[in-house]
Chain A
Amino acid sequence: MNEHVLEEKQITMKKQAVKKNRNTYLWGWLLIAPTAIGLIVLNIIPVFQTLLMSFQNVSTFGTSTFVGLDNYVKMFSDAEFWQSLRNTLVYTVIQVPLTVILSTIAAVLVNTKIKGVGIYRVIYFLPMIAAPAAVAMVWRWLYNSEFGLINTILGYFGLENVQWLSDPNVVLWSIIIVGIWSNIGYNMILLLAGLQEIPQEYYEAATVDGAGKIRQFFQITVPLLTPQLFFVLVTSVISALQIFDIIFIMFDVTNPSLNKAQSLVYMFFNESFVLNDKGYGSAVVMVLVVIIMCITAIQLIAQKKWVTYD
């Protein structure tokens, strides 16, 4: 073959490759364009805007004046902020472990070979598909101090009425109970998926070795379930720290115990969209974001100590 022709062929091939590459680039950009633009406009820019607003006084019609650290200074000397922070953290610290433990038990039980497990799964998942407004509304009714079903049942056992929605020492527990009830099914499904991946042989071998069910649970099930447990833990903590819906529906603005119930997100909502102080609301949300990011980071680091991936 003529050398000249060969060279020309190579050049055209290179040209084609470059063209193909350019073509691929173009397609790549085109395909990500809607999501990329959406992310920039709806998420990336807003992060900086919220940060900026937290240093501003934002009026109703968007004219803002820079006020430096005023919002933060105000916040750190605001008893309402500290109370909301405390409520949020206490809620999370109690709700999450209880939910994770109960969902693990539920997942293990619905993973057994008994009749009707499918029905149990469907029932436990039910709270997850109901609108939180409806869920909170019916719980508000169940919690009613005079005519509510819960106090009536307590009455049958000779127990005194509990002021579920007005006793400042109880209100947070009322929210925790609804929180657990709403989340068990969701976590159960996630954990169940993990349980189903554990090879049956492990249990058979353990049974042959004479290990009892309880020992099997702690020595086989729990260690092999740690990746799912970790995922459930992280997502549960994040969503617990963002608790809002239940509080918003169950407590009237006029409820004197509201301050013992309200969360940081509730405070953010109230400041930004009810009292219209968007600068102050942004400062509250910045604190929430920092807390969530820190806790998540700690969990990611701590996972090396207890999560086993195979």
Chain B
Amino acid sequence: MHNEPTKKSKLFIHIVLIIGSIIMILPFVWMFLTSGKTIPETTSIPPTILPESFQWENYKNVWNVLPFVAFFLNTGIMIVVRVVTSTLFSAMAAFAVAKLEFPGKNLFFWMVLTQMMIPAQIFLTPQYLLVQNIGMLNTVTALIIPGIISAFGTFLLRQFFMKLPDELMEAATIDGANIWQIFARIYLPLAKSGLVSLSIFTALFAYKDLMWPLIVNISQEKMTLSAGLASLQGQFTSNYPQLMAGSVISIIPMIILYIIFQKQFIQGIATTGGK
């Protein structure tokens, strides 16, 4: 509860939370420890907890086996393009829906809501066929396509724009600004926290997406970190040190970003999930 707990209950809360933290963090610790072991160390009974000497070669090997540089580039390009286009387009549409009157507005907003309510798997095969028809399979563009726009982003930012007063619009109109200027110079900066939240949300889910990159891009050179890591599994079925080294490499960038921007991350998720 929110009011000051007694010393005893504080201790109890700490114990519960620490047990929880161990469960949450242990898989990551085990991932890292395993990534530094030799294969015999992982298959000894009872298992060794710490590697005798940390085997950095595991990282070197897995780095040589998989084109991680390409994975990082593909993932980075996909995330940046998706974040920029979907945030910009969503902000434009959200502003129009929140502040302008025009025929077709309600129809458009219904489309947005419908898209959000329908499970995404229904779009996948036609999207795949579309990418195939324009000859874009196995390209970085293919990774980007479904995320160019965002119905969810439009919905989210609309709420931000609705909270901003209409008077700003009237005042600016009198001053002779056109609608694009009103949007870009007045309303957009005021919705900054919404834009940041949406960007984090978009980046995180683009990074985590597994099925889409898996189906559109077959050659390893065009894979994302997520999908590339999945392909590692087939190659080293039981070489757990290398599998774990690959896993560490693929989660490290996000973890670093998360540790630096933890407040924005948690705030971003809280606002995107909130009402």
Which positions in A face B, CB cutoff 8 Å?
A: 23-25, 27-29, 31-32, 34-36, 38-47, 49-50, 53, 62, 106, 108-114, 116, 120-135, 137-139, 141-142, 144, 146-147, 149, 152, 155, 181, 184-186, 189-190, 192-195, 198, 200, 203-204, 207, 213, 216-217, 221, 227-228, 231-232, 235, 238, 241-242, 244-245, 248-249, 252, 265, 268-269, 272-273, 278, 281-282, 285-286, 288-289, 292-293, 296
Contact = CB atoms under 8 A, between A and B. Distances in A.
A289 B114 CA distance: 13
B17 A109 contact: yes
A134 B31 contact: yes
A63 B104 CA distance: 35
Interface string B241-275: 00110111011001100110010011001110111
B198 interface: no
Nearest to A186: B269
A147 B125 contact: no
A244 B210 contact: yes
Given A132-B210, A141-B243, A124 B122 contact: no
Given A142-B27, A152-B47, A39 B5 contact: no
B121 A152 contact: no
B255 A109 contact: no
Specify which of A29, A232, A281 lies most central, judged by the most chain B CB atoms within 10 Å of its CB. Answer: A29
Contact of B129 (A29, A62, A149, A245): A62
B198 to A, nearest CB: 13
Contacts of A29: 102, 104
A289 B121 contact: yes
B125 A42 contact: no
Nearest to B269: A189
B105 interface: yes
B230 A28 contact: no
A27 B179 contact: yes
Contact of B244 (A62, A141, A146): A141
Nearest to B173: A20
A24 B179 contact: yes
The number of chain B residues touching the other chain, given as a range, is 35 or more
A198 B122 contact: no
Contacts, number: 309
Chain B interface, >50% SS class = helix
Contacts of B196: none
Contacts of A43: 111, 115, 118, 123, 151
24 contacts: A32-B93, A32-B97, A34-B92, A39-B111, A43-B118, A44-B111, A44-B114, A111-B1, A112-B5, A112-B13, A121-B266, A127-B24, A133-B227, A134-B229, A134-B247, A137-B247, A189-B269, A221-B1, A231-B275, A235-B273, A241-B119, A252-B237, A285-B125, A289-B119
Contacts of B255: 126, 129-130
B174 interface: no
Nearest to A238: B119
A115 B126 CA distance: 52
B165 interface: no
Contacts of A36: 93, 108, 111
B28 interface: yes
Interface string B87-122: 001101101110011111100100110110111111
B226 A38 contact: no
Contact of B21 (A112, A123, A144, A192): A123
B76 interface: no
A35 B30 contact: no
B125 to A, nearest CB: 5
A121 B270 CA distance: 12
A126 B210 contact: no
A238 B121 CA distance: 12
Contacts of A142: 27, 30
Nearest to B41: A147
Chain A interface, >50% SS class = helix
B1 A34 contact: no
B84 interface: no
A265 B124 CA distance: 11
B24 A123 contact: yes
**A-B pairs with lowest CB-CB distance, top 5:** A28-B102, A38-B149, A46-B126, A31-B96, A134-B247
B176 interface: no
B247 A192 contact: no
A244 B208 CA distance: 12
A213 B124 CA distance: 48
A45 B126 contact: yes
A24 B254 CA distance: 42
A76 to B, nearest CB: 19
Nearest to A53: B125
A158 B268 CA distance: 45
A132 B119 CA distance: 19
A50 B1 contact: no
A189 B270 contact: yes
A39 B115 contact: yes
Specify which of A31, A134, A186, A245 lies most central, judged by the most chain B CB atoms within 10 Å of its CB. Answer: A134
Contacts of B117: 293, 296
